[in-house]
Structure 1
Amino acid sequence: MTPSEARVVLVTGPSGAGRTTAINALEDLGFEAIDNMPLSLIPRLLDGPRLDRPMALGLDVRNRDFSVDALLALHGQGAEADGAQLELLYLDCAINVLVRRYSETRRRHPLTPDAAPSEGIERERALLEPVRARADTLIDTTELTPHDLRAVLADRYGTGEARHLSVSVVSFSYKRGLPQGADMVLDCRFLRNPHWDPELRPFTGLDTAVVEHVTADPRYSGFEDRVLDMLDFLLPQHRAEGKAHVTIAFGCTGGRHRSVTATERVARALADRGWSVSLRHRELDRQGLGPRANRSEDPKCGETNA
């Protein structure tokens, strides 16, 4: 793309995969954003006055003139568009997660309004498979929160003032696999495990008793100090290279105690150093046990994990 060409990103994918979130995120990054753009109007839009900033166009199968062939033809002609370079961004998501999202919102699927959402999801994914295969950028949102998706888009599409380094710190369970998109993974399983103390087992790394237990391990302070020393060196280097987002993941067996403690403490230390930090506890969020202010000493936590 030459300096005289404006970036035009065509955003599509199955309903529920995050297209609206992506359009809003790109608008926040300085793009002119139009959602549910009819395909037939895009050539006229590009034939108009030269674009003075990048543009994001959301394309939805619900549009009456939507056609996979027309979209692929438009994308194929993108290099020839006068003063614009077209890119195809495809947001994908696992079927079971799309079904769950539809169940949570109780929405009807646009392709099967009178049938189960799962039928519409299957049909839509099959319809869009040729588009997925031709995408310039493919982002799988299966394991991404809206915040995570925004961070990925900022990394790939941010420019100028939008390109600042943000840091996400995540806790997770090794039993459920590594977090998608993690740049650095740190294993906390060598630390003393509160799970084996019956009195601490129902608590989480958000509770004072667990934090004290984990940090009392003689190895913990050296671990945290070395992690922060490494990040003090690495984060400025990532920023200097133009990277917009870094994800640091702390894992333990169940993602409930040790990794949560380390995530909270490291995130707080990085924020104190002036970094833009967000944190997420993947397993606690799944269990409805996310951060709460001043948790009691008897949290009645439910299911337990090591």
Structure 2
Amino acid sequence: MKFVIITGLSGAGKSQAMKCMEDLGFYCVDNLPPVLIPKFAELCFSNRGEIQKIALVIDIRGRKFFNDLFKSLDQLKNNGYKYEILFLDASDETLIKRFKETRRVHPLNTEGRIIDGINSERQRLEELKLRADKIINTSDMTPGELKEEIKKVYIEGTNNNIIISVLSFGFKKGIPLDADLVFDVRFLPNPHYIPELKEFTGNDKNVRDYVMKWPESIDFVKKLNDLIDFLIPYYEREGKYQLVIAIGCTGGKHRSVTVANILYDYLKEKGHRVKINHRDVPK
């Protein structure tokens, strides 16, 4: 039997994940009080094979009942019931944007600032995130992309194939909060100071050709590819499900975009599950 507990940050996509699990044939229960999980598991595991896939959404909406979760998880383990935890995460900026777009209030801070509720929730979920078997960061995902990722994990059996997100950014707007690896390419010659290139981006051939015509650019890209090739198997061995590689320059429009695109093409050609996002390039 597949027994999955879906949890994570409010606004990170748990409801969408549950809908996806239902489409995949899971029997889903939303916001079950954690103290009831062991009894519910007992009923499911003793149903003589009638229900083979279960998904529970458990989060801080349970208020004080949420405090029973770890005790219930330990009881599941002691009773010999196998389960997986799927944790959905997203950046603070993404969560704030989603709350504002939907005009929802944060369940931990109904009268104050959204960010205060997010910070409080992150602290309460920190230990649970450490226990998670799978972590999906939905910051740059559409509902359709989240569904595809869940299908790959729970149906297609590719859960050992790490998801790599390559992200370009500008240091002047801050380092991405969800970055696992950050590389600074501000040492490369800057097209910003070339009048005929200033208004273009690293997505344009003229800028890419300029950035990559220097020996230090070629050497850096080669060493970067070699390092990522070295690291990926070890991240997969440790059970990491998603890797965010951030490439930064001053403004996030020229050098970082060029290098990020080259890394993306390299990883895609090698058959990795890879996405790319240029944070500071105007959409």
- Contact kept, 8 Å, 2:179 with 2:245, in 1: the verdict is yes
**Does 2:136 align with 1:144?**
no
TM-score (norm 1): 0.65
Q: Following superposition of structure 1 onto structure 2, how do residues 215-254 of structure 1 map, counting pairs within 5 Å?
A: 215-239=212-236, 242-254=239-251
| TM-score, length-scaled by structure 2 | 0.70
- The one-letter amino acid paired with 1:232 is D
- Structure with greater Cα Rg: 1
The reply on whether 1:193 has 2:170 as its aligned counterpart is no
The 1-side partners of 2:275 and 2:194 are apart by 30
Q: Is the 8 A contact 1:95 1:122 kept in 2?
A: no
Residues 6 and 14 of structure 2 are in contact (CA less than 8 Å); yes or no, is this contact kept in structure 1?
no
**1:268 aligns with one of 250, 265, 276:** 265
Rounded to whole Å, the distance in 2 between the matches of 1:177 and 1:169 is 16
CA–CA distance in structure 1, aligned partners of residues 193 and 278 of structure 2:
21
3-state SS of 2:202 partner: coil
> Given the alignment of the two structures, is residue 57 of structure 1 paired with residue 56 of structure 2, yes or no?
yes
Q: Paired residue for 2:30, among 36, 48, 53?
A: 36
Gaps of 5+ in 2: none
What corresponds to 2:40 in structure 1? 45
CA displacement at 1:11 relative to structure 2: 1.8
Deviations 1:53-77 (A, max 9, x none): 774422467xxxx642223235423
Which string of whole-angstrom CA distances, capped at 9 and with x for unpartnered residues, describes residues 123-178 of structure 1? 9939x75992685217999993237x96xx98xx9896421133221111122332
1:69 is aligned to 2:64: yes
- Aligned identity (percent) is 31
One-letter code aligned to 1:144:
S
Question: 1: CA distance between counterparts of 2:227 and 2:126?
Answer: 39
1:248-297, CA deviations, whole angstroms, 9 ceiling, x for partnerless residues? 2211011110000011112112222222221111212xx32xxxxxxxxx
Partner of 1:297: none
Q: Distance in 1 between matches of 2:115 and 2:251?
A: 36
Is the 1:99–1:121 Cα contact (8 Å) retained in structure 2? no
Q: Distance in 1 between matches of 2:244 and 2:209?
A: 26
Q: Per-residue deviation at 1:241?
A: 5.2
CA distance in 1 between counterparts of 2:244 and 2:263 reads: 12
- Structure 1: stretches of 5+ with no match in the other structure: 112-116, 289-306
Deviation, structure 1 residue 222: 1.7
Task: Report the 3-state secondary structure (helix = DSSP H, G, I; strand = E; otherwise coil) of the residue aligned with 2:263.
Answer: helix
The answer on whether the counterparts of 2:88 and 2:136 sit within 8 Å (CA) in structure 1 is yes
Of 5, 11, 14, 1:9 maps to: 5
The alignment status of 1:125 with 2:122, answered yes or no, reads no
* Separation of aligned partners in 2, 1:108 and 1:237: 40
* Separation (CA, whole Å) in 1 of partners of 2:80 and 2:200: 59
Q: Can you list the C-alpha shifts for 1:230-262, whole angstroms capped at 9, x where unaligned?
A: 333333444455544333221101111000001
Change (3 A) 1:137 1:43: same
8 A contact 2:201–2:254 mirrored in 1: yes
Pairs within 5 Å for 1:158-197:
161-197=158-194
2:209 paired residue number: 212
> In the alignment, is residue 79 of structure 1 matched against residue 55 of structure 2?
no
Deviation at 1:41, TM superposition (A): 6.5
Q: Is the alpha carbon distance of 1:74 and 1:180 closer, same or farther for their aligned partners in structure 2, counting shifts above 3 Å? A: closer
The number of residues matched between the two structures is: 264
Q: Which is worse superposed, 82-91 or 205-214?
A: 82-91
The one-letter code matched in structure 1 to 2:7 is: V
Matching residue of 2:277: 280
- The Cα RMSD (Å) is 4.5
